[in-house]
Amino acid sequence: MLRIFLACLSLFALSACSPTKDSVGAATATSPAPLSRVPPFELTSCSKDADCVLLEMGCCDYCNGGIVWAVSDAQRSAAETMRPDCNDPPVCTTMGCAEVSVRCQAGHCLAAGPGMVTHGR
């Protein structure tokens, strides 16, 4: 009897730690998903270099653990809505790094700098 009680108690404890379900039954996490190091492809369309802008997307700058995206200036507002909430920012390093530039290549904005991931395709 004690084994059955402990087994039920364990199952109850494990179910309390699982993700919650939203109104359509999809699992929702308790914290936001990490931001991708590359912007969504639909935000990067361009026809010339001047169409592109760099956006710091992390709570730290890209040199110190953050993320920088190259997006179309026309899609800047959409990209900015994806920035994480930095009300309680992490401790960032204070390193310097090489400058990042932005260009339009093959119809999509790309960030160019040492060791950078430029796009997801």
The tens digit of pLDDT for each residue in 32-64 reads 556 777 889 999 999 999 999 999 888 888 888
Per-residue confidence (pLDDT) for residue 64, from 0 to 100:
85
Report the domain count for the chain: 1
The range of the structural domain enclosing residue 42 comes to 31-112
Does residue 76 lie in a domain region? yes
Per-residue confidence (pLDDT) for residue 97, from 0 to 100:
80
52-56 and 68-72 beta bridge pairing: antiparallel
Per-residue confidence (pLDDT) for residue 55, from 0 to 100:
92
- Of the candidates 118, 110, 99, 100, the residue with the CA atom closest to the CA atom of residue 52: 110
51 Cβ partners below 8 Å, 6+ apart? 72, 73, 74, 104, 109
pLDDT band at 114 (very low <50, low <70, confident <90, very high): low
Computed over every residue of the chain, the mean pLDDT equals 74
Does residue 118 lie in a domain region? no
Per-residue confidence (pLDDT) for residue 73, from 0 to 100:
96
Does residue 14 lie in a domain region? no
Does residue 18 lie in a domain region? no
Residue 108 has pLDDT above 70, yes or no: yes
- Provide the whole-model pTM: 0.63
Does residue 15 lie in a domain region? no
